[in-house]
């Protein structure tokens, strides 16, 4: 055992435990909370075998925690210059985000602009604001300057960020089966041999060549119909987990929006587990009157954010998200800035759907999907979020003023730090 002095006294940690668990003890956090908020385990372990699908950071997964717990998914340190500016303005210091270190994510999920790489020899030695001030950063050369105009890449960034939020991996048998069903639905083949195109062929067609060359060069060079085990096996194998990167690529290719992909996974790929205890079971029991009455006030209070609502109700986040979906109450993580929500509000304000989508530069089909699935009572909540973000320029005039410079954030996203002790 080793003892460390902290403001709360001496904390003893076992040197036999993974470093992540030791840091959790020093921070006074549970190992699972620390893993979920300050590691990238969830990006590495999107799926696991049934006997190994422990919560990230749980003692049962020590083998994975020891090997992957302190790693980033890509080498080097990355930052978003706009995040640094906002951090300094609000917090007076800045930190590295986990979502900026996902493999293939070359843009900030929140600000949709290319990330910058720290060029210093030891990038973790200081904070992002220090490197920006020193000028030791360089902007990444990306395949597109505006992420919102790149369908596949925008979905990939949002899905990879969403998977980063999972507290535990999916069971491989279940998520692979769900992907296989979706591959069949798209008319692709689910066998190594055959005449129909594979998932990897589909990805090669829709993903930008520059991005493939940088992150998946072997896929960019493959011949049509040639089996690419790293990706195509997800739709064939029923028990072998794939890499987190592979799952993010697959889901980005199989769905039109990140929201649809994550909703599909949360509905189709979550095994029917028994709740951990009778106490948990009681917490999940809420009357119909609650969901169609009191819940509305909670939804408004927390701006339609399932994670915060679930924490407030002491419920499972996925369960809350599903209940919201069935009631036509979408997650509003990015309602203040995303193009589709701004077009949605324009339409609700009386503009034609075509004109609203043209001004906000978003596909009509995307907004039509919102109109089909969103309850009318959500409209004033979305308007309030947009007006709160725009300040005095809120409302239709504000939307017009910002049409050419609006940011658009991703749908799922906490911006937690990566420990500089990585």
pLDDT digits (tens, 9 = 90+) for 260-314: 888 888 776 655 443 343 444 444 457 778 888 889 999 998 888 888 888 888 8
Predicted confidence at residue 248, as pLDDT, reads 96
Give residue-wise pLDDT tens across range 211-269: 999 999 988 788 888 898 889 999 987 788 999 999 999 999 999 888 888 888 877 66
How is residue 223 written in tokens? Answer: 């011949």
Bridge-based pairing of strands 47-48 and 170-171 is parallel
pLDDT surpassing 50 at residue 403: no
Contact assessment for residue 108 and residue 83, using Cβ atoms and an 8 Å cutoff: yes
Give residue-wise pLDDT tens across range 321-369: 778 887 889 888 788 888 889 999 999 999 999 999 999 998 888 888 8
How is residue 230 written in tokens? Answer: 């790293």
d(Cα 38, Cα 57) in Å, to the nearest integer? 11
How is residue 43 written in tokens? Answer: 């990006």
Instruction: Provide the residue ranges of all domains of the chain, joining segments of one domain with +.
Output: 2-68, 78-142, 171-268, 278-326, 339-401
Give residue-wise pLDDT tens across range 158-207: 999 999 989 889 988 889 998 998 999 889 988 888 888 999 999 999 99
Helix axes 364-373, 339-348, angle to 10 degrees: 70
Confidence of residue 67 (pLDDT cuts 50, 70, 90): confident
d(Cα 26, Cα 35) in Å, to the nearest integer? 13
Query: Burial level of 171, CB count in 10 A (0-12/13-18/19+)?
Result: buried
d(Cα 132, Cα 123) in Å, to the nearest integer? 11
Which backbone phi and psi does 83 adopt, to 5 degrees?
-60, -40
How is residue 138 written in tokens? Answer: 């360089």
Q: Is 97 helix (H, G, I), strand (E, B) or coil?
A: strand
pTM: 0.63
Cα angle: 325, vertex 331, 335; to 5 degrees? 140
């Amino acid at each position: 055992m080793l003892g460390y002095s902290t403001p709360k006294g001496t904390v003893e940690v076992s040197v036999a435990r993974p470093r992540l668990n030791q840091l959790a003890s020093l921070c006074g956090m549970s190992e699972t909370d620390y893993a979920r908020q300050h590691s990238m385990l969830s990006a590495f372990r999107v799926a696991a075998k049934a006997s190994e699908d422990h919560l990230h950071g749980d003692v049962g997964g020590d083998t994975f925690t020891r090997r992957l717990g302190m790693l980033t998914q890509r080498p080097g340190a990355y930052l978003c210059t706009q995040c640094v500016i906002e951090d300094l303005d609000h917090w007076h210091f800045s930190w590295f985000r986990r979502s900026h270190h996902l493999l293939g994510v070359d843009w900030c999920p929140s600000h949709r602009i290319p990330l910058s790489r720290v060029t210093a020899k030891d990038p973790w030695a200081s904070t992002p604001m220090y490197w920006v001030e020193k000028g030791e950063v360089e902007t990444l050369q990306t395949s597109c300057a505006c992420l919102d105009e790149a369908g596949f890449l925008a979905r990939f960034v949002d899905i990879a960020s969403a998977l980063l939020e999972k507290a535990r991996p999916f069971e491989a048998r279940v998520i692979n089966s769900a992907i296989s069903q979706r591959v069949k639905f798209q008319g692709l083949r689910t066998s190594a041999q055959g005449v129909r195109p594979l998932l990897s062929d589909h990805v090669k067609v829709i993903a930008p060549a520059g991005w493939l060359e940088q992150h998946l060069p072997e896929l960019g060079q493959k011949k049509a119909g040639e089996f690419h085990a790293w990706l195509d096996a997800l739709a064939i194998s029923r028990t072998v987990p794939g890499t987190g990167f592979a799952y993010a690529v697959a889901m980005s290719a199989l769905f039109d929006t990140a929201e649809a992909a994550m909703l599909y996974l949360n509905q189709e790929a979550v095994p029917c587990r028994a709740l951990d205890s009778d106490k948990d079971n009681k917490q999940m029991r809420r009357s119909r009157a609650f969901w169609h009455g009191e819940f509305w006030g909670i939804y408004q209070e927390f701006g339609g954010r399932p994670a915060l609502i679930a924490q407030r109700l002491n419920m499972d986040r996925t369960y809350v998200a599903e209940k919201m979906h069935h009631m036509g109450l979408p997650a509003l993580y990015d309602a203040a800035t995303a193009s589709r929500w701004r077009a949605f509000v324009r339409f609700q304000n009386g503009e034609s759907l075509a004109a609203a989508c043209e001004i906000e530069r978003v596909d009509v089909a995307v907004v039509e999907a919102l109109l089909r699935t969103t309850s009318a009572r959500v409209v004033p909540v979305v308007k309030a979020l947009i007006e709160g973000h725009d300040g005095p320029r809120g409302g239709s005039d504000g939307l017009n003023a910002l049409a050419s410079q609006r940011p658009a954030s991703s749908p799922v996203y906490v911006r937690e730090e990566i420990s500089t002790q990585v």
